[in-house]
Structure 1
Amino acid sequence: MKNEINANMFAFSLTSPAEVIRGLSERMKRRRIDGGLTQRDLAARAGVSYGSLRLFEETGKISLEALVRVAFALEGEAEFEHLFPPRPPKTIDDVVDRPVRQRVRRK
């Protein structure tokens, strides 16, 4: 039943950047605690400062590099593969062989 409650805790829709950040820091903290790690333990394992880790848990503020290091330390790096996936094609023209755009020109 405990796992069912934990699964449902994060089943809500995240609708703002602040909510996404809050949810991310809460999930990281939960994974740290479930792994039996203190903040200092995780900071040392991830190669980030204790202050950075503490600030992330309290406010959600952390550099991208530090976040990725923490994810690796908690064996959650594969989750980054789900960020910014390619969008599915909308039309048949999107499926036909076209050169992949490397950048967008300013108008």
Structure 2
Amino acid sequence: MMAFSMTSPADVIKDLSQRAKRRRIDAGITQRELAARAGVSYGSLRLFEETGKISLEALAKIAFVLEAEAEFEQLFPPRPPKTIEDVIDRPARQRVRRK
């Protein structure tokens, strides 16, 4: 059975920034140290931890330093097949056309 989450995108972003902050603190790394190791500006890191706003590239860099890069593989997994046609070996679609 699937669990449905009643959170908004803003809630997801805020939770993500708080988990990253907690992971940084648990690792004993200051904001300045993390920013330097990740190659992102100190201001960007502070803004991320306070508001959740950050570029995807900077987030990925921070994740590598915090040893959380593997979690990115869990984003957007392929959908399980629904029909036999989904299982048949054929080329993957590259785009969607309107009907």
Q: Provide TM-score, normalisation by structure 1.
A: 0.84
Count of matched residue positions in the alignment of Structure 1 and Structure 2: 95
Show the counterpart of 1:39.
31
**Deviation at 1:106?**
3.7
* Distance in 2 of aligned mates of 1:76 and 1:14: 25
Contact 1:43/1:49 (8 A) holds in 2? yes
Show the counterpart of 1:74.
66
Contact 1:42/1:70 (8 A) holds in 2? yes
* Distance in 2 of aligned mates of 1:56 and 1:101: 35
Q: Which has the higher contact order (CA 8 A, sep 6+)?
A: 2
* Distance in 2 of aligned mates of 1:65 and 1:97: 34
* Distance in 1 of aligned mates of 2:6 and 2:13: 9
Unaligned runs of 5+ in 2: none
| AA partner of residue 76 (structure 2) | F
* Distance in 2 of aligned mates of 1:80 and 1:67: 10
* Distance in 2 of aligned mates of 1:57 and 1:79: 18
**Deviation at 1:56?**
0.3
Q: Percent sequence identity over matched residues?
A: 81
Where do residues 58-73 of structure 1 align in structure 2 (5 Å cutoff)? Answer: 58-73=50-65
**Deviation at 1:105?**
2.0
- Kindly tell me: are residues 72 and 14 of structure 1, through their superposed partners in 2, closer, same or farther at Cα, counting changes over 3 Å? farther
**Deviation at 1:14?**
5.8
| AA partner of residue 35 (structure 2) | A
Q: Does 1:25 align with 2:32?
A: no
CA RMSD of aligned residues (A): 1.1
Unaligned runs of 5+ in 1: 1-12
Question: Which 4+ stretches in 1 moved above 6 angstroms?
Answer: none
